[in-house]
Structure 1
Amino acid sequence: MALAEIPLCVWRKRGQTFIFRGQHIRYWTAGQGEPLLLIHGFPTASWDWHCLWPPLAQRYRVIACDMLGFGDSAKPTQHDYSLLEQADLQQALLAHLQVADPVHVLAHDYGDSVAQELLARHHETRIELASCVFLNGGLFPETHRALLVQKLLLSPLGWMIGRAFNRDALVKSFRHVFGPHSGPSESEMDDFWSLVESNRGPRIMHKLIGYIPERRAQRDRWVAAMQRNEVPMRVIDGEADPISGGHMVERYRQLIPNPDTVVLPGIGHYPQIEAPAQVLKHYLEFRDNCVLLPRKVACS
């Protein structure tokens, strides 16, 4: 089943803006019903969800933003970017939209780490989550296999690597992480690059990449939150992903009690783009069987 896509030019016109800590953040919302927060990955933006957006909006109130430093949102150069701040941003967006109900989360890549922080905050009674589904991402630092460009961005020369990053470098990276038969078209690559390049994004890529050591610092806290089984969770993972593919799922099954995992053979790092119909099927199946677990109150 092919899903209708939303062209980037149309997507951009539908966006709105709110201010977060003095910075302009672009966000999108559609549909009615239970709130579903979509959290994108690195180095792209919320347009990653454009194939899933229409069918999800038929069932839920879908919400997404380009996080600080991504897509068409502000990309300040003198800023220390943090996954914890991105979680603050998600909560600020929900408050801006006056979302009071428990929130369902669907996340990918960098967004998985933001979702893990929200899970930890759920335990700390700072937000109430109803469910969480992870697509390919570095849930465990010990299984994350960084690309060469990511390692270079983390190096002392990262600022130079970021400034030299161009469309050809993005194409090379994407060819490595997508499945062998599900790579993006040239037109899609133009759109992805447009979002990376927007607001002179390459200047701050070396700052955004700080999420990799931040994941290591938060690893035990985040994994403990997942192990509590307070929130229904599922992993939908492209197995062919060299960064966070089948090997990450195996680690998830080792660490998480009663793991709910779906593996997509032949699909790479971006399943919501490479195989959106399969992701939609498995996500809706999860939601149809999702039972909100009793809330446990954190004790000190």
Structure 2
Amino acid sequence: MPLAEIPLCVWRTRSLEFTFRGQSIRYWTAGQGAPLLLIHGFPTASWDWHYLWQPLAQRFRVIACDMLGFGDSAKPARHRYSLLEQADLQQALLEHLHIQQPLHLLAHDYGASVAQELLARHHEGRLEVASCAFLNAGLFPECHRPLLAQRLLFSHLGWLVARIFTREDLVRNVSQIYGPCTQPSESALDDCWSLIAANQGNRILHRLSAFIPERLTHRERWVGALQQVRLPMRFINGAVDPVSGAHMLQRYRELVPLPDTVTLPGIGHYPHTEAPAQVLRHYLEFRQQPLTASLQKVAWS
């Protein structure tokens, strides 16, 4: 049975606000139980999780924010955006909500790099993470295959590309990374563009794109976190994604000890909107695994 969507107009009415380093951040929380932090990708926002929101909130306390520069959060024009700062933001949100229990992570794309930093902090004893699941993401920068538009955004002409970036450019790029049978509707594209363009966010896309070289800078730390942490992890991957699809999953299997992976044939870069019921099933199956067995598998590697 298809999962019910939450219309963007409704999603926005449910947002809350807190201040992070002088900037307004929009966030959402629902449900009770173990805290589950959902971390969105580039260039979209937490609305990406709307199909999964209610089913997950029936089982966990779900938490998500539009990161700095994204969605309905502040988008300062001259800010130097950083994945490290976005990890600080996630921790600040948890402190704001007085979350003290071990944290579960579910992250996509750009957000998965933030999750890798949180895993590194867990390894250093600065944060307690209980589990982590990834959707399509550039976990290994040597395998990441950015689209031409992304490469242009972090080039010296990025400021110009961002200034002239339009809804039509979004549609052209999205059509390349979704599965052939799971393309988004015009209404969904309108909503995605609304989130990008809010507060003139399209004009800072080049600044947000600094995450691509930043992944290279911190590659050893973030890949090391995947290899060293002793907690359950799963990588759920849309196989036909040209950016971080089957080739990224293969690299994960090569580098991560006793990898727990799921392949979604015919699905592209956004599994949680292209095949949300499948993602939900595989994620809940992951969470139902005995924790001790998962830890032993890693310890024996």
Coarse TM-score class (shorter-chain normalised): over 0.9
Q: Distance in 2 between matches of 1:164 and 1:187?
A: 22
Residue of structure 1 equivalent to 2:48: 48
Which moves more between the two structures, 284-293 or 188-197?
284-293
Give the ranges of 4+ consecutive aligned residues of structure 1 lying more than 3 Å apart after TM superposition.
Answer: none
CA-CA distance at 1:46 after TM superposition:
0.1
SS of alignment partner, residue 252 of structure 1: helix
The amino acid of 1:61's aligned partner reads R
Residue of structure 2 equivalent to 1:283: 283
Q: Distance in 1 between matches of 2:214 and 2:290?
A: 31
Residue of structure 2 equivalent to 1:146: 146
Where structure 1 has 5 or more consecutive residues not aligned to the other structure, the ranges are 295-300
CA-CA distance at 1:11 after TM superposition:
0.1
Q: Distance in 2 between matches of 1:100 and 1:290?
A: 22
Q: Distance in 1 between matches of 2:95 and 2:230?
A: 23
Q: How does 1:69-108 map to 2 (within 5 A)?
A: 69-108=69-108
Q: Distance in 2 between matches of 1:114 and 1:36?
A: 15
Residue of structure 2 equivalent to 1:5: 5
Q: How does 1:230-241 map to 2 (within 5 A)?
A: 230-241=230-241
CA-CA distance at 1:154 after TM superposition:
1.1
Residue of structure 2 equivalent to 1:21: 21
The amino acid of 1:48's aligned partner reads D
1:31 aligns with 2:39: no
The amino acid of 2:261's aligned partner reads T
Q: Distance in 1 between matches of 2:97 and 2:82?
A: 23
The TM-score, its normalising length taken from structure 2, stands at 0.97
Residue of structure 1 equivalent to 2:170: 170
Q: Is the 8 A contact 1:232 1:290 kept in 2?
A: no
The amino acid of 2:267's aligned partner reads I
Q: Distance in 2 between matches of 1:266 and 1:94?
A: 36
1:227 aligns with 2:227: yes
Residue of structure 2 equivalent to 1:265: 265
CA-CA distance at 1:228 after TM superposition:
1.3
- The Cα offsets for residues 61-116 of structure 1, whole Å up to 9 and x where unpaired, read as 00000000000000001110000000000000000000000000000000000000
Residue of structure 2 equivalent to 1:200: 200
Matched-pair identity in %: 68
Structure 2 vs 1, CA of residues 234 and 157 (structure 1 numbering), >3 Å: closer, same or farther? same
CA-CA distance at 1:229 after TM superposition:
3.7
Q: Distance in 1 between matches of 2:88 and 2:122?
A: 13
1:60 aligns with 2:60: yes
Q: Is the 8 A contact 1:29 1:61 kept in 2?
A: yes
Q: Distance in 1 between matches of 2:192 and 2:211?
A: 20
Structure 2 vs 1, CA of residues 193 and 276 (structure 1 numbering), >3 Å: closer, same or farther? same
Q: Is the 8 A contact 1:5 1:50 kept in 2?
A: yes
CA-CA distance at 1:155 after TM superposition:
1.1
Q: Distance in 2 between matches of 1:291 and 1:85?
A: 30
The amino acid of 1:182's aligned partner reads T
SS of alignment partner, residue 52 of structure 1: helix
CA-CA distance at 1:168 after TM superposition:
0.3
- The Cα offsets for residues 219-267 of structure 1, whole Å up to 9 and x where unpaired, read as 1111111111412100000000000000000000000000000000000
Where structure 2 has 5 or more consecutive residues not aligned to the other structure, the ranges are 297-301
CA-CA distance at 1:50 after TM superposition:
0.1
Q: Distance in 2 between matches of 1:290 and 1:269?
A: 29
CA-CA distance at 1:290 after TM superposition:
4.5
Q: How does 1:184-199 map to 2 (within 5 A)?
A: 184-199=184-199
SS of alignment partner, residue 130 of structure 2: strand
Q: Is the 8 A contact 1:229 1:257 kept in 2?
A: no
Q: Distance in 2 between matches of 1:155 and 1:203?
A: 15
Q: Is the 8 A contact 1:46 1:64 kept in 2?
A: yes
The amino acid of 1:91's aligned partner reads Q
Q: Distance in 1 between matches of 2:97 and 2:259?
A: 33
Q: Distance in 2 between matches of 1:23 and 1:94?
A: 16
Q: Is the 8 A contact 1:103 1:128 kept in 2?
A: yes
